[in-house]
Chain A
Amino acid sequence: MTTFREEHTGTGLSEREVGTSLSGRDVGAGLGGRDAGSVRAVVSDAVASDAALVSVADLRVSFGGTEVVRGVSLSVAAGECVAIVGESGSGKSVTARSLLGLAGPGSRVDARSFDLSGRDVRGFRPAEWRRLRGRFAGLVLQDALVSLDPLRTVAAEIGEVLAVHQVVPRVRRPERVLELLDAVGVPDPAARARQHPHQLSGGLRQRVLIASAIAAEPKLIIADEPTTALDVTVQAQILRLLAERKAAGTALLLISHDLAVVASIADRILVMKDGRVVEEGPARSVLASPAHDYTRSLLAAVPSAASRGTRLSDGTPLPRRTLRSSEPFPDRASTPSGPLLGGEPSLSAQVLAATALSMSYGPRRVVDDVSFTLHEGETLGIVGESGSGKTTVARLVLGLLEPEAGQVTLHQRQWSGLPERERRPMRQRIQLISQNPLDSFDPRHTVGRLVAEPLALPRRERRARALDLLERVGLPAAYATRHPRELSGGQRQRVAIARALAPRPGVLVCDEPVSALDVSIQAQVLDLLAEIQAEYGTAMLFISHDLGVVHHVSDRVLVMKDGRVVEEGEVEQVFQQPRHPYTRALVDAVPRLG
């Protein structure tokens, strides 16, 4: 096996530096150049060759003795879309970056063969890599805001790629920039070219990034989670754009954690786990009849309409929800664990109601005439894209914001518009689980102390109850003495759930509780929430941008757009027969498996 090594000076490459080095500029200082002749040869090879653009066998990448990519073989042909799917830490991004010589500082890259457009790149020097990037392959990263230089206009950003690779003569550059922006579907290119990244929406930024990636007319686009930060309708547009490039003959290497995203566009799929490819094949067969257990569990973990009523992690049915009438005024001296206080089951006890809520920030109305009710044991989903006002609704019902108009009742008692002193005794009846649990934990506290915080009990009982709660959410008691920073994302969310359950609330407000998690971890957390709801009869207000998740967990759903509720109803009815055009657009934009 031949070995070549990538040496980086400095401490690390930021996203922006990666972007910069893609456009061919020096990142490290003092990297020796080489005459352009041999590099030209690479480029003309690329033009001549119609065979596999990328042909890598037994790729291994290690960082300081830890192997993160363990023998990946990969080939991509012109006009083909290959997708690498895997969860965080599977080595998918490192694999993709290795193809550009950007595996990262301190990395060691080995391969049995490593040919890019028919040329062996093992032993390439930094200068040779630089010429190869941009011309041979363009990289599109997840977050366009950090990948674009905030101080440069769109025109300067794209123009630089054109200048470095001398794609067109200087005088034709401005014209070419506009053509490129037009090609990626940026409306009014002339005006947009003069703007800076912060003036653009997330979707437009991603388009600009794609425009600069294709500016040097590369044979290959490597897109690393290109749509993960985007709303579902924008995601659909970007995927369409990538599909157009593919139809135009560009090869596409798509990296994603989301099987549904790649399903619509990939020809072949590689499923990666722990640095290895566990399954590989044509997209249709991988998705329809996965051979490997891991692929099957990944597919099963995707929440959707079909998964309702079953556990996502193993497919077994969830326990049926039992409705108990909860005690609106908690008796602090009651039994320390177990379900909410028993009593006559009343099937439709209304626990939360919002009537004509409105809220503005300055002249902008972020919540406009929103009404809903939530009953015991029920889950009400709220879906909407960023800026639709979902989170503001959550803060209004939690009593963290006062509505300008309208009112909230909790357990059929007035909740909004009360002085804090009167609200305090009822506070624990409604609890929040947020997207990023780490933010909601005091950084100095241990897990045990965090979970015990809401409990007004003597010290010893508090500790016992905290351990009970940790056990209930599937964390060993030993975790009580750890700090949340030492836990994984899924474990942190379990701690957040244990903490929210501690005061035995009647209502749980879940604001994007699983958006930051891998699909298999997301499945476990959703299962846990469902079990808890079945056990305690807690009502849930479940806010998410992910229609699949909402479809899986909710009984009823509200669709929000620009602060208004555009549609509401039973979840099946809303998602299967959407009445409002916006709901229809949302539902249509959701990428589907198979």
Chain B
Amino acid sequence: MTARILVPTAFLTLLALAVAVPGLLTGVDPLSADPLGALTPPGGAHWFGSDHLGRDVLSRVVYGARHSLSIGVTATAVAVTSGILLGLAAGLSPKWLDEALARSFDVLSTLPELLLALLVIAITGPGTVNVIFAIAIAQIPNYARVIRAQTFVVRHAGYVEQAVTFGRSRAVITAQHVLPNVLGPIPVLATIGLGQAVIGASGLSFLGMGPQPPAAEWGAMLAEARNYLRVAWWEALFPGAAITLTVICLTVIGRRLQHRFEGRTP
């Protein structure tokens, strides 16, 4: 374990703590406004300063982790699950259905993720749940394509054929042999994908599509802080830094995993 892996791990552990028990990291309510104490610079009572309504920025960043990360994690989980199912379905389907699915993955991945997510939001309207689905849909092709390719390899493997000669049904063979053996690349992809999902979530919230005020969400905090940038840099800096660090840490760990598992058979 080098510092390159230790530091991101430590930061992500801290983040997980913020999501699970935010009260441990800050004693202040993120929603309690104090108009008289608005825009206090960092130090003393407010380590990260206070925002334009006098709310504690540290507390909002800590509680905001729950919003931002839960959107990211849920969206990634939805994308991974649907990606696996769709990829597996494509890989095991008759040619015409496989072609149809594969071409739709191609079309989806030609559109930039954020643009696609915005399109979905435009149809469904803003809101936390809709943001989750918007991001998930944009990410599905990444997973589905890899799983489809893996399925092509595994479904002709000797052990699948052998299971056929034991008289196993297609469903049993798929569940016992194909599915577990196509999942190899998923942990790595999902770790990197999670970082992208967090950016997506913050981006959509910044545009006002995500959790609505006064909820503390990093992207939404940035959006509000934008108007006070000249007088209160801290209101934007800390949520922005939280997003950046989270994504960098996830990517570093993802790349590291990728490096370790590269060239290995599942």
Report which A residues bind B (CB closer than 8 A): 398-400, 420, 423-428, 430-432, 434, 436, 439-444, 453-454, 499, 503
Instruction: Report yes or no: A398 in contact with B158, Cβ–Cβ below 8 A.
Output: no
Instruction: Report yes or no: A400 in contact with B164, Cβ–Cβ below 8 A.
Output: yes
- For the complex of A and B, the 4 pairs showing the least CB-CB separation, nearest first, are A427-B167, A439-B158, A440-B158, A454-B166
Known: A442-B177, A443-B266. Contact between A424 and B167, CB under 8 A?
yes
11 other A-B residue contacts (CB within 8 Å) besides A424-B167, A426-B167: A420-B170, A424-B169, A427-B165, A427-B166, A427-B167, A439-B159, A441-B159, A443-B265, A443-B266, A444-B266, A454-B166
B158-201 contact mask (Cβ, 8 Å, vs A): 1 or 0? 11011111111110000011001100000000000000000000
Q: Is the C-beta of B157 less than 8 angstroms from some C-beta in chain A?
A: yes
Report the Cα distance A53→B169, complex, angstroms.
64
CB-contact partner of A440 in B159, B168, B170, B181, under 8 A: B159
Chain B hits for A425, CB < 8 A: 167
Report the Cα distance A444→B266, complex, angstroms.
8
Report the Cα distance A256→B180, complex, angstroms.
41
Task: Give the nearest-CB partner of B158 in chain A.
Answer: A439
Ordered by A's residue number, 8 sampled pairs between the chains whose C-beta atoms are within 8 Å are A400-B165, A428-B165, A428-B167, A432-B162, A436-B158, A442-B159, A442-B180, A453-B166
Report which B residues bind A (CB closer than 8 A): 157-159, 161-170, 176-177, 180-181, 265-266
Chain A hits for B265, CB < 8 A: 443
Chain B hits for A398, CB < 8 A: 165
Chain B hits for A440, CB < 8 A: 158-159, 161-162
Known: A440-B159, A442-B181. Contact between A430 and B165, CB under 8 A?
yes
Report the Cα distance A268→B170, complex, angstroms.
57
What's the dominant secondary structure at chain B's contact region?
helix
Chain B hits for A426, CB < 8 A: 167
Chain B hits for A399, CB < 8 A: 165
Report the Cα distance A430→B165, complex, angstroms.
7
Chain B hits for A441, CB < 8 A: 158-159
Known: A442-B177, A443-B266. Contact between A428 and B159, CB under 8 A?
no
Task: Give the nearest-CB partner of B162 in chain A.
Answer: A440
Q: Within the complex, what minimum Cβ distance (angstroms) separates B157 from chain A? A: 7
Chain B hits for A432, CB < 8 A: 161-162, 165
Report the Cα distance A78→B96, complex, angstroms.
66
Report the Cα distance A398→B166, complex, angstroms.
11
Task: Give the nearest-CB partner of B266 in chain A.
Answer: A443
Report the Cα distance A443→B153, complex, angstroms.
14
Instruction: Report yes or no: B165 in contact with A431, Cβ–Cβ below 8 A.
Output: yes
Report the Cα distance A444→B169, complex, angstroms.
20
Known: A424-B167, A424-B169, A439-B157. Contact between A444 and B162, CB under 8 A?
no
Report the Cα distance A399→B165, complex, angstroms.
8
Among A440, A442, A444, the one with the most B-chain Cβ atoms within 10 Å of its Cβ is A442
Chain A hits for B164, CB < 8 A: 400, 427
Report the Cα distance A424→B170, complex, angstroms.
11
Known: A427-B166, A428-B167. Contact between A400 and B161, CB under 8 A?
yes
Report the Cα distance A427→B165, complex, angstroms.
5
Chain B hits for A427, CB < 8 A: 164-167
Chain A hits for B167, CB < 8 A: 423-428, 454
Chain A hits for B170, CB < 8 A: 420
Instruction: Report yes or no: A434 in contact with B158, Cβ–Cβ below 8 A.
Output: yes
Chain A hits for B180, CB < 8 A: 442, 444
Report the Cα distance A148→B108, complex, angstroms.
43
Chain B hits for A443, CB < 8 A: 159, 181, 265-266
Chain B hits for A444, CB < 8 A: 180-181, 266
Q: Within the complex, what minimum Cβ distance (angstroms) separates B261 from chain A? A: 14
Chain A hits for B266, CB < 8 A: 443-444
Report the Cα distance A423→B169, complex, angstroms.
11
Report the Cα distance A400→B155, complex, angstroms.
13
Task: Give the nearest-CB partner of A453 in chain B.
Answer: B166
Report the Cα distance A423→B157, complex, angstroms.
21
Report the Cα distance A430→B164, complex, angstroms.
11
Report the Cα distance A440→B166, complex, angstroms.
12
Task: Give the nearest-CB partner of B163 in chain A.
Answer: A453
Task: Give the nearest-CB partner of A442 in chain B.
Answer: B159
Report the Cα distance A67→B169, complex, angstroms.
51
Chain B hits for A439, CB < 8 A: 157-159
Report the Cα distance A474→B90, complex, angstroms.
43
Report the Cα distance A197→B265, complex, angstroms.
29
Among B159, B163, B168, B266, the one with the most A-chain Cβ atoms within 10 Å of its Cβ is B159
Report the Cα distance A37→B206, complex, angstroms.
77
Task: Give the nearest-CB partner of B157 in chain A.
Answer: A439
Report the Cα distance A454→B161, complex, angstroms.
13
Task: Give the nearest-CB partner of A395 in chain B.
Answer: B161
Report the Cα distance A436→B157, complex, angstroms.
12
Chain A hits for B168, CB < 8 A: 424
Chain A hits for B169, CB < 8 A: 424
Report the Cα distance A439→B163, complex, angstroms.
12
Report the Cα distance A362→B86, complex, angstroms.
31
Chain A hits for B165, CB < 8 A: 398-400, 427-428, 430-432
Report the Cα distance A432→B164, complex, angstroms.
11
Instruction: Report yes or no: A503 in contact with B159, Cβ–Cβ below 8 A.
Output: no
Q: Within the complex, what minimum Cβ distance (angstroms) separates B265 from chain A? A: 6
Q: Within the complex, what minimum Cβ distance (angstroms) separates A504 from chain B? A: 12
Chain A hits for B177, CB < 8 A: 442
Report the Cα distance A430→B162, complex, angstroms.
11
Q: Within the complex, what minimum Cβ distance (angstroms) separates A502 from chain B? A: 9
Chain B hits for A503, CB < 8 A: 166
Q: Within the complex, what minimum Cβ distance (angstroms) separates B155 from chain A? A: 13
Report the Cα distance A426→B164, complex, angstroms.
11
Task: Give the nearest-CB partner of A450 in chain B.
Answer: B159
Chain A hits for B176, CB < 8 A: 442
Report the Cα distance A439→B166, complex, angstroms.
16
Chain A hits for B163, CB < 8 A: 453
Q: Within the complex, what minimum Cβ distance (angstroms) separates A448 from chain B? A: 15
Among B159, B166, B168, the one with the most A-chain Cβ atoms within 10 Å of its Cβ is B166
Among B157, B161, B163, B165, the one with the most A-chain Cβ atoms within 10 Å of its Cβ is B165
Report the Cα distance A443→B157, complex, angstroms.
11
Chain B hits for A436, CB < 8 A: 158
Q: Within the complex, what minimum Cβ distance (angstroms) separates B73 from chain A? A: 27
Report the Cα distance A385→B162, complex, angstroms.
24
Among A426, A454, A503, the one with the most B-chain Cβ atoms within 10 Å of its Cβ is A454
Report the Cα distance A499→B181, complex, angstroms.
20
Chain B hits for A442, CB < 8 A: 159, 176-177, 180-181
Task: Give the nearest-CB partner of A432 in chain B.
Answer: B165
Chain A hits for B162, CB < 8 A: 432, 440, 499
Among B158, B162, B168, B176, the one with the most A-chain Cβ atoms within 10 Å of its Cβ is B162
Task: Give the nearest-CB partner of A496 in chain B.
Answer: B162
Report the Cα distance A522→B205, complex, angstroms.
68
Task: Give the nearest-CB partner of B164 in chain A.
Answer: A400
Task: Give the nearest-CB partner of B178 in chain A.
Answer: A442
Report the Cα distance A424→B166, complex, angstroms.
8
